């Protein structure tokens, strides 16, 4: 399906990051939205009952938070780099810092190092402001 990459390139060209998400079915399933702030992408995950992993607290599933962090890292790479292919995740390391409460969650990724074949990205997720992160991640991504 070559038109898939075309769709991403087109979204970039039009500076419409939300259209990249429409090309990624799982992010649509989670309900992730994205906006650009001075070249940085901010992913927003509105709360939904289906995202809960702990009914007692209640709290977001750790896998949901991990999904958001990996996604924002990948989207930031696609947004920043001019590559013919999609970056592929080599590994991720997730630190869970605070409970992900039943409310809207934000995430941002910063490219720490970009080499020829691999990039290192750090990402953070928060709810009550970026100074109180609920989770942090770093990952390595294979570039096309």
Applying CB under 8 A, the residues found at the interface with another protein are 1-2, 4-5, 23-30, 49-57, 61-64, 66-68, 70-71, 86, 88-96, 99
**Which residue lies nearer to another protein by CB, 93 or 112?**
93
Cα separation, 103 vs 61, in Å, equals: 12
Can the peptide bond before residue 58 be classed as cis, meaning omega within 30 degrees of 0?
yes
- Beta carbon of residue 38, minimum distance to another protein (angstroms, whole number): 26
In this structure, what token pair is assigned to residue 139?
Answer: 């990952």
- Beta carbon of residue 115, minimum distance to another protein (angstroms, whole number): 18
**Which residue lies nearer to another protein by CB, 38 or 54?**
54
- Beta carbon of residue 114, minimum distance to another protein (angstroms, whole number): 19
- Beta carbon of residue 34, minimum distance to another protein (angstroms, whole number): 15
**Which residue lies nearer to another protein by CB, 66 or 111?**
66
**Which residue lies nearer to another protein by CB, 86 or 111?**
86
- Beta carbon of residue 1, minimum distance to another protein (angstroms, whole number): 5
**Which residue lies nearer to another protein by CB, 130 or 144?**
144
In this structure, what token pair is assigned to residue 114?
Answer: 């970009």
| Phi and psi torsions of 78, nearest 5° | -60, -40
Count of C-beta atoms within a 10 Å radius of residue 93: 10
* Residues across the chain: 144
Q: Determine contact, residues 139/72, Cβ cutoff 8 Å.
A: no
Lookup result for tokens 């309900």:
31
């Amino acid at each position: 399906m070559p038109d898939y990459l075309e769709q991403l390139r087109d979204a970039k060209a039009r500076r419409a990051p939300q259209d990249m998400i429409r090309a990624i079915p799982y992010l649509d399933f989670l309900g992730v939205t994205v906006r650009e702030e001075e070249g940085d992408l901010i992913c927003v995950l509105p709360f939904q009952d289906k995202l809960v992993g702990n009914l007692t607290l209640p709290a977001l599933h750790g896998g949901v938070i991990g999904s958001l962090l990996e996604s924002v890292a990948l989207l930031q790479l696609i947004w920043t780099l001019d590559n013919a292919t999609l970056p592929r995740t080599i590994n991720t390391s997730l630190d869970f810092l605070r409970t992900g409460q039943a409310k809207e969650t934000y995430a941002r990724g910063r490219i720490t190092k970009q080499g020829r074949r691999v990039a290192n990205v750090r990402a953070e997720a928060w709810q009550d402001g970026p100074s109180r992160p609920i989770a942090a991640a770093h990952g390595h991504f294979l570039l096309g």
